[in-house]
Structure 1
Amino acid sequence: MTYFKKYFPEEHYQTVVFFTKMYTLKHYGVESDTTVEDIKKFYGCNIIMGCLGYPRVRMYWADGFRNELIATSLSRNKFFTLRNIIHFVDTDKPNEKNKLWRIQPVIDIVKKRCNELATVVEAYSIDEQMIPFTGRCPARQVIRSKPRPVGLKNFVCATADGLVVDFEIFQGAGTFPDCGLGHGPSVVIFLTKCLPKGSHLYFDRFFTTIPLLERLNEIGFKSTGTIMANRLEKRLHLPLDRDMNRGDISQFVKNDEVSVVKWCDTKCVTIASTICGKDPVGEIDRWNRNLKRRVPVPIPAVILDYNENMNGVDICDQMMEYYRIKIKTKKWPVKVFFHLLDLAILNSWTEYRKDARRLKIPKKQVKDFLQFKIEIGEVMCKSIKILEAPEASCSKIPAEYYGSKYRPRNAPEDIRFDRFDHWPQFIDGTAKRCRNTGCSSRSRAICTKCNVSLCLTKDKDCFEKYHSK
């Protein structure tokens, strides 16, 4: 949660509550009883839902499929009410120049934290990203070549391992300041404003032009990108595709700054770079139909460099798609918010994994993305009292939990040490191993919030020790 709180600070939840109450008062004549805790629970439930992936939202409260963590955090009606009334700005003060004004405060706080991460001179990739949404939206786009063709187009700048450092959602003409080189180059130059000088940039043929590479070189950035043949100068006499065989390489260098390399693999590809050229030429194995075996094929250094550093945005898309919040809604601000929430969690996990690698923490002790995301959702659902009914001050623990040989994991630290709503409860049946470090005794006492067995007797109080740092 330490990483995630940098994207969504406490002030954000207070702002959402304020504008949500303002909206309900204006439209329904009654002020909503929404609290900061309700908003956190709503976020947490959506995060857990994205990880579990039930086909229908109502199933999380239905008999036979009920999920205790979600169902005890918010009632079904409360969940749907919050989804309908949640607002991030005053709807009576629209900004006609900004099509995304309804969600702009959330965009700003997430982008602000992302920009703070661009502190190291390294490789950054720039590419398009789709925010899936098929409803009505003033900024909706259709890109048929994408796996999710309908939605909002988001231009993203990310590191080679998928850490997003900047993004801008496309709103049509005028979204990016015109640099005089065209739309694609304008996007690239706009997204470099937060990057340290000397960084290496990678992008695809949608953005690449020779003047763009020269401009980036002037302002202190090296760059590489695939390029269309019709964007090359006419005096570049590169061989035709039909005249090249697999492994053939052709290079042209302009003013000792920009190298244009054409290489033939299964198909021909042309790439322009101010970082390197074809040398040193490497080798890559390819299947040969005639020889019925893999044979080495020459490959330029610039192609190897591009393939190694260009996949940052694709990695981000892939990881987000695993556990994306996919709840259907007609409200595009809610859909964009869920995307930004997923983006913030993925960035938090990438930061956590980098720090773990730097501290040389064993891989077995590093949380994977699913575990990390579920813990964030669990902490947000359990950060306050779970059940609203006064007679049910403890969460119900499934009976099969005690009858199995499964040893439960420790509760996340943000829940374990929050010093709130931890109640002991004595159970029937076989005593379970105490989860306090250094204790090997068995106990029938459990913590109803952490769902772990702990010793609680006159001579041994592991319950207090377990919940104290």
Structure 2
Amino acid sequence: MAHCTCEETLETVLDSEEEFTFSSEEEQDEEWSHFEERLDPAEDENDIDQMPVAKKARTSKQPALTWKAETEVDLVPQTLRFVPAREPGPQLWPTDSYTPLGLFKLFFTENAVSTLCYNTNAQAARSLARGRKYKWTDVSVSEMYRYFGLIFYMGMVKLISIKDYWRQGSLFSVPFPATIMSRDRYRTISWNMHMSHPAEDKENDKKKGTNEYDRLFRVKPLMDTIRLACKTIYHPRRNLAVDERMVACKANSGMTQYMKAKPTKWGFKLFVLADSSNGYTLDFSVYTGKNNTATGNGLPYDTVMSLLDRKVLGSGYHVYMDNFYTSPKLLTDMLGMKYGACGTYRDYRKNSPQNAPNSLTKNSPRGSIRWIRNGPLVFVKWMDTREVSVCSTIHPAYTGDTVQRRVKAQDTWSLKTFPCPAPVTAYNQYMGGVDLSDQLLQYYTAQHKTLKWYRKIFLHFLDIAATNSYTIHKELYGNMTHKEFMEQLIAELCGVSPKIPQKRASSDHVPVPGAPLSTDTRKVASSGRRICVHCKALYQCFVLCE
């Protein structure tokens, strides 16, 4: 495979990247985790639950279409040729050996950490000039990596507050953090952590209220580095997923969102592109609110298009998304870019087929299928415990797939087989890429309470780097669990061994006395016993000779 960590390759990928200005409801059943509709203030005007009167009028004028049953044969769509820009998988030298720290440094490079240190030191100098009373010495790159190691350590060893990690003389004391840096040093670095230069922040703040103001200015330097590394170090396999991710935060930053259908309901919303095969985060953007430079096609359309860069990815990819994104126009335009797509859709979306006398009803039996083909688009409705609507440019309507469901009959539960449309089967198989990524992120997340909104996003960047590093290490070697990987990464970041040598409980040698032995029994086990010369020299312990 080609090695893609050099600066020239990074610049090449960056040049091809399209710029854009905008940066889990608890599951009741696994099959329904992606079919839930969302209440999200970020939805565009065309997606609100209560449609405008004018829109309803347009909808009603659309000609009624005839839905077909699964017994009717659908045309098989033309298969897109899969032409990735690079060979899928890690883009590293196959002859090199990569440790957890080596992989992590592909995301948090020494240049990026050096810039982080420079801006953090500038913020500390600014705080001291404004009257802050604490000791400060400039943080170095090696110390910053140790600081990262402590953050990950706190993600694995959970305590209630930061100060508990340095508490002494308690049954619940943990000795490790104090061996890396003092509590006050850790806290002062945390207070002054800055990804952008404070002087430039001040200039950006003066632009508030104008189109030139950048809400993500404080995180953009590091965010651009992480996004570029995610796309450069690994190339995805064919099936991709687009979905939202929430970073918990209630700060009054103007960017926090509320999503009722997510486990984390308040926080920053990220739009994420992930590899469905392993959950690798390929690209992401942070939602900052309404975009004045939008194309007029709506936020979902702009989001998906901004995450798909054909020069970086190649062509022939299959992209799966939920009903927030799916629209006939988006899927048609993606097909023009040589990308197949599949996703659940909302019936009131423009150009979506409306209900007809022969469509599904609430009383339709479970397993009923109705479908309509409109050129390259196939719209499928399937009755499970409720109606599911899926649109696809990749699959035919029905190919004989079946699913098993537990059915209760005469107070007895049994498994029964039902027909299932091909788009629904594929959707359930590949849509979970972002969910898998979120799951891996949450196992040993670095997130904890902080007063600064941009530090929440900084901690999420650490999570992305660590999780993507683990995914690549698993692809290359597959000889570590996630826990073992994080333990090794923490040890390497902090410059220590992950295993503490155990104290020697006993010795196999015969003690060598420091003085001649006496045959006088009165001197045996008395206060005149001498220290073993061998043990003192070799083990630095004191074994008394009999």
Which TM-score bucket, shorter chain as reference? 0.7 to 0.9
Mapping of 1:27-426 within 5 angstroms?
A: 27-29=127-129, 32-63=137-168, 64=170, 65-94=172-201, 95=204, 96=207, 97-117=213-233, 119-120=235-236, 122-160=238-276, 161-174=278-291, 178-193=294-309, 194-231=312-349, 233-234=352-353, 237=356, 239-255=359-375, 257-290=376-409, 292=412, 293-356=414-477, 366-382=479-495, 401-402=502-503
Displacement of 1:172 after TM fit? 1.1
Which one has more relative contact order, counting CA pairs under 8 Å at least 6 apart? 2
- Given that 1:117 and 1:165 are in contact with CA atoms closer than 8 Å, whether structure 2 keeps it comes out as no
- Report the secondary structure of 2:198's partner residue: coil
- Mark the runs of 5 or more structure 1 residues left unpaired by the alignment: 358-365, 387-394, 403-426, 433-442, 448-469
Letter in 2 for 1:275: I
Instruction: Give me the TM-score of the superposition, normalised by structure 2.
Output: 0.67
Larger Rg: 1 or 2? Answer: 2
Displacement of 1:350 after TM fit? 0.8
Q: CA RMSD in A?
A: 2.6
Cα 1:396/1:228, change in 2 over 3 Å:
closer
Q: Which residue of 1 aligns with 2:117?
A: 17
- Report the secondary structure of 1:72's partner residue: helix
Displacement of 1:380 after TM fit? 0.9
Once the two structures are superposed, residues 190-224 of structure 1 have per-residue CA deviations (whole angstroms, 9 ceiling, x without a partner) of 11124321100000000011111111111110000
Q: For the residues of structure 1 that align with 2:537 and 2:179, how far apart are their CA atoms?
A: 22
Q: Which residue of 2 aligns with 1:439?
A: none
Q: Which residue of 2 aligns with 1:5?
A: 105
Displacement of 1:117 after TM fit? 4.7
Structure 1 stretch displaced more, 66-75 or 217-226:
66-75
Q: For the residues of structure 2 that align with 1:428 and 1:78, how far apart are their CA atoms?
A: 37
- Given that 2:402 and 2:420 are in contact with CA atoms closer than 8 Å, whether structure 1 keeps it comes out as yes
Q: For the residues of structure 2 that align with 1:71 and 1:397, how far apart are their CA atoms?
A: 16
Q: For the residues of structure 2 that align with 1:445 and 1:254, how far apart are their CA atoms?
A: 86
Instruction: Give me the TM-score of the superposition, normalised by structure 1.
Output: 0.78
Cα 1:328/1:263, change in 2 over 3 Å:
same
- Given that 1:185 and 1:207 are in contact with CA atoms closer than 8 Å, whether structure 2 keeps it comes out as yes
Cα 1:33/1:182, change in 2 over 3 Å:
closer
Cα 1:120/1:327, change in 2 over 3 Å:
closer
Letter in 2 for 1:150: W
Q: Percent identity?
A: 26
Cα 1:181/1:281, change in 2 over 3 Å:
farther
- Report the secondary structure of 1:3's partner residue: helix
Mapping of 1:427-442 within 5 angstroms?
A: 429-430=506-507
- Given that 2:136 and 2:188 are in contact with CA atoms closer than 8 Å, whether structure 1 keeps it comes out as no
- Report the secondary structure of 1:316's partner residue: helix
- Mark the runs of 5 or more structure 2 residues left unpaired by the alignment: 1-100, 130-134, 208-212, 510-534, 540-546
Q: For the residues of structure 1 that align with 2:280 and 2:499, how far apart are their CA atoms?
A: 39
Displacement of 1:31 after TM fit? 6.4
